[in-house]
Chain A
Amino acid sequence: MSMVLFDVPGPKARARHKIMAVIGIAAVLAGLVYVAMRFIATNQFSSRRLDWINYKQIQLSLVEAIGNTLSAFAVGAALALAFGAIFAAARLSDHAWVRAPAAVIVEIFRAIPLVIMMFFFYYGLPVAGVKLSAFTAVVVSLMLYNGSVLAEIFRAGINSLPKGQSEAAYALGMRKTQVMTFVLLPQALRAMLPTIISQLVVLLKDTALGFLITFEELLRWGTRIGGDAVNFGRPMISVMIVVALIYIGLCLLLTWLATYLEKRNRRNKKVIHLDDDAAGQVQLGNASTTVGAGLAV
């Protein structure tokens, strides 16, 4: 927390802060109470609208929906990491004819909205006779977009390593591939791990875009149960709160993993500490998605 901006408060300031704190709490509480009153006034938490939680079939379908979200995440993440590694290597290549197309591809896929990519694979390709399932369309789109972002992260990570590392490796007589795979990549990966994981958080959230192309994931499950008028009188509010909590929980788990790894890295003497925090720079560069991984958990 930035204590830069103000001195340690004296007695007067402390009193003022207390008053402001009371006002702040009162304002937030007033907002929450109002919303809660609306919840009650419109019967959002009536026993009928909460009843869905009790049914075994619904619990099973929820587990299945979470499973679909997580498998799209797992497959998408694995493919994106591979795509990122390949294109980062291509962009660092000594040959211009490899470097240039790789750069163009990465830039283009970073500029196209994921939704448009998913539409392309799910609605566009069948025109050309190629039928992909919603799952495949989601996973391929996630791979292309996040893979491109990861390629930039990897590249920045490798570029930020001290020059001495590769020089020393070359001096030992290693070939280019060896330098990359044995010396540069492992170090870069470790240094960039928190950034990579926060990009994976983005990927996890983006699986929810599959909702738009009828992929049976968590959010789609939520709108189906939440829109059930026959059994539960549209429990949309309570279902969406639960779905949001699940997403937040999953993302925080990943973020927590990132902070944990960062802390472990700091203790680990094998890791090179980058002076100018190149990782952070890339992150800011991709702020769209990943500003400040070190979120207070």
Chain B
Amino acid sequence: MRVRTLAAVLLTSALALAACGKEGSPTDQAAPAGLFEVAKDVKVEGSPTFEKVKARGNLVIGVKEDQPGLGYKDPTTNKYSGFDIDIARLISAKLGFDPEKIQFKTVQSAAREQALINGDVDYYVGTYTINAGRKEKVSFAGPYFVAGQDLLIKADNTTITGKDTLKGKKVCSVTGSTPAKRIKDEGLTEAANVIEFQGYSQCVTKLLEGEVDAVTTDDAILKGYAAAEEGKLKVVGKTFSSEPYGIGLPKEDKALRDKVNDILQASLDDGTWQKIYEGTLGKSGSPAEKPKIDRY
């Protein structure tokens, strides 16, 4: 009998909750309206992807959803925000698509190449490092940002100043990730001191509790967390690798790649890129360094 009462109580409270559901987000991170002017009558000669998208009428962009400041999906609104997202929006606007024609789709790191090859997404913007291995399967426009492996530490930490001060310190990263592997391979700290979790947010929790001394991965990702924690954390700022982030495109589509490169170059020249950076990653307090477009 008691169980039945419990179920009834749970059900009523669920209904009561559903009835008073709030809309919107407590921290609205949407890009300021009107930042990107939608271009009209865009043509990309000889681009099969562009033709396909035009025919379909909407654009599907692959992104990440779990990196604040870069690609983050707000659980309260299901809206995406961050540097990567704004870059994706910028490109779609310059390709002539209204914001309501864009559909963001979360694609995990391991599935990125396949999503582009299958045509599940039209292009991908999400901490996607350009490298030779990936260039065999997809093509890259950009880089639109050059990240590098860095360290995230507590704001009051003065003992960790770079990768060579990690000996005897506990360093956290994601299981099986390249940054974790680099720390171990280069022997920057003892193997037993490398703590691996499933996600960076779990590492950040452990950093805030003081159980690990540093979190390591690309500085762009770390800056996002530093910005989210407002003053409690800082990024050391001495990168020890180079991770040029590119926009993933279907391999054969050179026309679209050139077009996207033109858009990126224009945004770097007219200050739009700078505005996007300041509205997102810039909140961490680290200055931006403009990337150099690599047309191959």
A interface list, Cβ under 8 A from B = 48, 51-59, 61, 212, 214, 223-225, 227-232, 234, 236, 249, 252-253, 256, 297
Chain A: minimal CB distance from B281 (Å): 14
A225 and B3: CB pair below 8 A? no
- Enumerate chain B residues within 8 angstroms of A256, measured Cβ to Cβ: 3
**What mask results when residues 68 to 96 of chain B are scored 1 for a CB within 8 Å of chain A, else 0?**
10001011111000000000000000000
Number of A-B contacts (CB under 8 A): 73
A249 and B23: CB pair below 8 A? no
B55-73 contacts to A, CB under 8 A, are 66, 68, 72
State the CA gap A253–B7 with chains docked (Å).
8
- Enumerate chain B residues within 8 angstroms of A51, measured Cβ to Cβ: 26
A55 and B76: CB pair below 8 A? yes
For B108, the closest partner residue in chain A by CB is A214
A56 and B7: CB pair below 8 A? no
- Enumerate chain B residues within 8 angstroms of A53, measured Cβ to Cβ: 17
Stretch of B196-204, B237-245, B258-266 contacting A (4+ beta carbons < 8 Å): B196-204
B interface list, Cβ under 8 A from A = 2-3, 6-7, 10, 17-18, 20-23, 25-27, 29, 66, 68, 72, 74-78, 108, 198-199, 201-202, 204-205, 225, 228-229
**Given A55-B22, A223-B202, A231-B78 contact (CB < 8 Å):** no
Determine which of B6, B75, B204 lies in contact with A249 in the assembled complex, contact meaning CB atoms within 8 Å: B6
B72 and A230: CB pair below 8 A? yes
A230 and B3: CB pair below 8 A? no
Chain B: minimal CB distance from A97 (Å): 43
B204 and A229: CB pair below 8 A? yes
- Enumerate chain B residues within 8 angstroms of A54, measured Cβ to Cβ: 17, 20-22
Determine which of A48, A223, A231 lies in contact with B75 in the assembled complex, contact meaning CB atoms within 8 Å: A231
Determine which of A56, A214, A231, A249 lies in contact with B10 in the assembled complex, contact meaning CB atoms within 8 Å: A249
Chain A: minimal CB distance from B38 (Å): 27
Main secondary structure of the interface of A (DSSP, over half): helix
B75 and A228: CB pair below 8 A? yes
State the CA gap A56–B228 with chains docked (Å).
23
Determine which of B26, B198, B225, B228 lies in contact with A214 in the assembled complex, contact meaning CB atoms within 8 Å: B198
B75 and A61: CB pair below 8 A? yes
* A and B contact pairs by CB, cutoff 8 A, 11 listed: A53-B17, A55-B76, A56-B18, A212-B198, A214-B108, A214-B198, A223-B202, A224-B66, A230-B29, A231-B75, A231-B76
- Enumerate chain A residues within 8 angstroms of B18, measured Cβ to Cβ: 56, 59
For B24, the closest partner residue in chain A by CB is A55
Most chain A CB within 10 A, of B26, B76, B201, B205, is at: B76
Chain A: minimal CB distance from B6 (Å): 6
Chain B: minimal CB distance from A19 (Å): 30
- Enumerate chain B residues within 8 angstroms of A252, measured Cβ to Cβ: 3, 6
B202 and A227: CB pair below 8 A? yes
Chain A: minimal CB distance from B215 (Å): 13
A224 and B75: CB pair below 8 A? yes
Determine which of A55, A212, A230, A253 lies in contact with B228 in the assembled complex, contact meaning CB atoms within 8 Å: A230
For A236, the closest partner residue in chain B by CB is B205
Question: Known pairs A214-B198, A249-B6, A297-B2. 19 more at Cβ < 8 A?
Answer: A51-B26, A52-B76, A54-B22, A55-B23, A55-B76, A56-B18, A56-B21, A56-B22, A58-B75, A59-B18, A212-B198, A223-B202, A225-B75, A229-B225, A229-B228, A249-B7, A252-B3, A256-B3, A297-B3
